[in-house]
Amino acid sequence: MSLFLRIATFPGEMRIAVTKNDSLLDFALWRPAAPDMVGSIFHARIEALTPGMGGAFVALAPNLSGFLPLQNGAPKLTEGQSITVEVSRAAQGGKGVRLRLLAADVCSEQRGLVTPGPTPLARLAALWPTATLVADSPAAAAHIPPSLRERREPGFTPYPDAIAAACDALEEPVVHLPGGMEATITPTPALIAIDMDAPPAQTGRPKQTAQFAANRDALPALMGQIRLRNLSGAILIDPAGLATRKRQALLEPMAEALKPDPLNPRCLGVTALG
């Protein structure tokens, strides 16, 4: 019944897994030489306003920039203006980091990083405050900061086979879900597409009723995979074998399945294509 935060060393990276009873609850990759910068705060300068894209490109430091979305009600900004921003999403898919505005009209000559963001280890340790830290090697243990060392279990323990297999499976595009369902996850430059497939209904119930139940029951596991794989941005899900009107009924179980995710993702609704 113990809750562990396991740190395993691999060439160039650490794999951090939160586990309970040999089940994988949370996961992160940590590349100390290439931090994702999420949570980092910068004094920055607006390079270009892009109304057509709904935001602005912002210079954070030499050779480093990001995109700041500007929603309705955002303060009026001008090119060249000094601002303070926080990195809200790591660079992905060839695009730079995503930013969040903290303050405009900053009267500071300082440019660049003000406060670095937490490491993946620190983020997971904060999300799981009762988890015992387990390192697989002296190299992994050396990356545990002093503030977390009292939570560490003595000695070195490798990942259990079941956890190692679950972590390896996160790199596969096909996810096996409850009830014989499967989902194929395909990242694209614009969005992440997820196609759900269901086996033939064997319950004796009407096909649409059975397909609805299969999709509904698979959603919590699918949302868990989205969290474990650290997927973000626009995600488009195609449920299996349901008429378009029937898919509206999945909105409530979808909202429930999203609630445990600490990033607070939102389901925006059902498209015209279902």
Residue 109 has what pLDDT?
67
CA–CA dist 110, 192 (Å, integer): 37
Q: What percent of the chain has pLDDT over 70?
A: 95
Least confident of 70-84, 115-129, 251-265: 70-84
**Beta strand pairing call for 174-176 and 132-135:** unpaired
Question: With 0-12 CB in 10 A as exposed, 13-18 as middle and 19+ as buried, what is 173?
Answer: exposed
In sequence order, the 6+-apart residues with CB closer than 8 A to the CB of 217 are: 178, 179, 181
What's the whole-model pTM score?
Answer: 0.82
CB atoms within 10 A of CB 129: 9
Return the pLDDT at 182. Answer: 94
DSSP 121: H
Q: DSSP readout, 191-243?
A: -EEEEEE-PPP-SSS-HHHHHHHHHHHHHHHHHHHHHHTT--S-EEEE-SS--
Grade residue 51 by pLDDT with cuts at 50, 70 and 90. confident
Residue for token digits 């195609």? 238
pLDDT tens-digit profile of 197-249?
A: 987 666 556 677 888 888 999 999 999 999 999 888 899 999 988 888 888 99
